[in-house]
Structures are given as C-alpha cells and as structure tokens.
Structure 1
Amino acid sequence: MRRSGIVTVCVVSMKKHCCSLLVVLLSCLLASCGDDDYRYPSVKQDFLTAFSGTDGRLESVLTDEGERLRIVEGASGLRVSADTAVRIVANYETLAIGDGDVAGAKLYALLQTVSPVPLAAAEFEEGVKTEPSEIQSIWWGYDYLNIIVKVKQQGKHLFHFVEDEAVVDENSGRVKVRLTLYHDVSSSVQDYGKRAYLSVPLKQYMTEGVRGVDVRFRIYTYSGCFKTYVLDEAGLRVEEG
C-alpha cells in the first residue's frame, strides 16, 4: 500500500489520490474555575470545515448548518496548505462582532478529522484491512458523512474509506454509494476505549443531475461480523451481517 504522507499526530492529508491513513484519537479537556462569579463560555464541540488564508493559517469555518464564521481567536497554531479547506473537530464559542450581526468563532481546541476521498479497493496495494471497531454515532454533515468510531486496541490506528460502488439511480436521480471502513492497527492488545473522528467527503458524488446521495457504510465489529449503516431519504437504519 502506498503510505506516503502518513503521520501519527492528528494530521490529515487531503490529496485526492494518496492513500493517507491516519490516527485520530481525541481527548479535549476544558478547565473549570472555582469562582462563583465566573461566566462559563457556551462552548460547542462540532465537526466543521475550516478554510485557510494565503499563509496557511485558519481564517474561517463553515458549520454543518451552513453558517460561515470568521475565526476571531484560536488556541491552535495549526498550519495547513494555503487557500485550502480542511475538515476539523473543534471546541468553539460563537461571538458577536461589531454591532452583533456578524458572527465569529473563538476556537479553544481542534484537530483534523480523517477525511480522505474514498478509493477503490484495487488502489490499496496491500489489500483492504478491516480490523474491528464500533460506531458510536453517524450522521449527515455539510457535504460530509460524520462518524465517531470507538476502538479498543493499543497502537497506531490507520483509517481510510473504500468505495465499493457508486451508481446513479436514474429513477430517483440519487447516487447510491457503498463504502467500507478501512482500518489497520499495529497491536492486538486491547485497553480502554478511544474515539476516532472520521468525515467522509461526499461532494465528489454530486455531479450534474444528481439530486442527492444515499450511503451504505459498512464496518467490521468486535462481535466478529459486519454491520452496515444505511443513510438515505428514509433516515438511518442498521443492517447486521
């Protein structure tokens, strides 16, 4: 398998044709204050799309509700490629700017999600790995499918998305996408559970004439079988086997 660009500290390669397999394990802790007069900030934790400027610094974010927020303060020194978009999970607070009718965001903590464009199985030179994991939650984002995965093994966890099929249904005008979670791990020793944050890009399936995307997302679980999460116009359902 091509392993160029792999890093092990919460950094995602966004190159379309590179099998970037990444580890994302988040533990974001916010300190509290014992002063009764302290006003606790209204902090959210969400998946966001962040946009960088010419110097690679993050300048704004787009929420999954479609709201664009300028970053007015950020605790992260994250630098990415200039004038690009990256997918992140962030603890942030929304702020009023000026007269209060322009929204901004103060970032307290963030990390990049695992967000490579899905690849066909043939592009994984060492084959498709499906080590077990469990989905904690899965839902639609803004041009993305957001997933929080729980893993138990120690070591490095490498994730990607395998595109098994993508077919446009001429009757509905929707593209039917079947995906499998690629998961490789360097250790079989289990310990306490950890979380990985994944965000599958879907915009590439919205070609001319396509009305929407239906997804069947398959993972191999700790129970020793595959589980498929189906997200379509009818909502979310789970199929065993």
Structure 2
Amino acid sequence: MDPVRYRILGTTQVLRPDGRPVPVGGARLRALLTVLALRAGRTVPVGLLVDEVWGDEPPADATGALQALVGRLRRALGADAILSAEGGYRLAAAPDDIDLNRFERLVGDGTRALADGAPAKAAGVLDDALALWHGPALADLPDHTAEAARQETRRLDALRTRHTAALALGHAEQSLPELTALCDTHPLDEPLQALRLRALRDAGRTAEALVAYEDVRRLLADRLGSDPGPE
C-alpha cells in the first residue's frame, strides 16, 4: 500500500494515496504533527516537542499532555504512524513522504540540470517543486518565524533559478510579471533585480531596462550606500 503524504508547506495536512485528506483536528494536534514531520524518521525528544507545541505556556503535566496528544494523533493516522522511542517520538515516514523534503530534493535536481545546460528539464522540475507550496511554510507551528523564514528563503532561491531557466529558454516576456512582483517585494535582492533587468533586455525593452537599472542604482545607494555589483 502506498504511504500517506504530509504537507507542511502551508497548513498542515495529511493525504491518503488517493489524494483524500485525513482529518487532523485541533491546533495542538497539527502543531505536533508539523514538528514530527519536520524531523521525519528521527526521534524528537519530549522536551523539544513540548516547547514547539506549547511554547511559553506548557501545561502543568507536560509529559502527560503530550502522551494524550500523541494518542489522539495515532487514532487519526493509525497506531503505527507515530513510534515511541527512548526519550521521544518519531513519525514513521520516508523523507519523500514530506512535501518539504520533496521540495528540497527537486530544487537540487533542477539546479543541477540548469548547471548541466538543460534549462527545459530544470524548468519542469522546479515547477514541480514550487507547486508543492500551498501557503506560508509551517503555518500550524505556534512560533515558527525563524524556521519558516529559512524555508521562504529557499523558495525564493528556487524562484530565481526557475526564472534563470526561463530566460535561457527565451521566455523573458512571460517571466517579467512575476519577476517585477518579486522585485517589488524584495527590492534589495540584487540577483533578483539583475534577473528582471536581463528579462527586460531579452524582451527587447532596452529603454525600460536602462530606467530600471537607474532605479536600482539609486535604491542601493540610498538604502545600503553601495553601487550595484558587476552583474
């Protein structure tokens, strides 16, 4: 039987092999599943689980409360889904059963394909990777700011690589709307700005590219006190 799949790139979800969701009710239950899925196949210590699920407000009997929560999660997913190990618990899942792990694997594959001179392959693989995102990463963790920011940075890296592949394929015009929106959101991201300028140039919009370059030059000077890099 095919394994279930776990989504943590957005609201935490569990999907059966046929795509039907497994109901996982309750914020604490989803938080527990998120922490376990982040470390799928590894034992997560009880103390870390309590910290991640309850934050600064742990229950008086934290160990007992965690045991009860694990019991509820086992009833939802199956008794063998959460394994007890010395000092903690482990989600019985292969790395590729977790969308975050699949995303990282696919991004690596796409990046290597682009470096090997296969932009069409890179574009397809990176599209598959980016399609795994369904909202802000780790949305069900009470305090997920640092880890979520790290994953968002990884997503932005993947978007840059995807647009690099698009330009190599001659798809500059198609890339421009998203590149412009990304530059508006991340104005100090110089590699992203460089991609937008290349896309404008490749689309034959040279005058716009020159104006956009001057805008970036002034922005970097005003905000960072620096000039644009050679690229």
Q: Does TM-score exceed 0.5, indicating one fold? A: no
Which one has the bigger strand percentage?
A: 1
Shorter chain as denominator, the TM-score bin is under 0.3
- Which one has a bigger Cα radius of gyration? 2
Please, what TM-score do these two structures have when normalized by structure 1? Answer: 0.21
Please, what TM-score do these two structures have when normalized by structure 2? Answer: 0.22
Which one has the bigger helix percentage?
A: 2
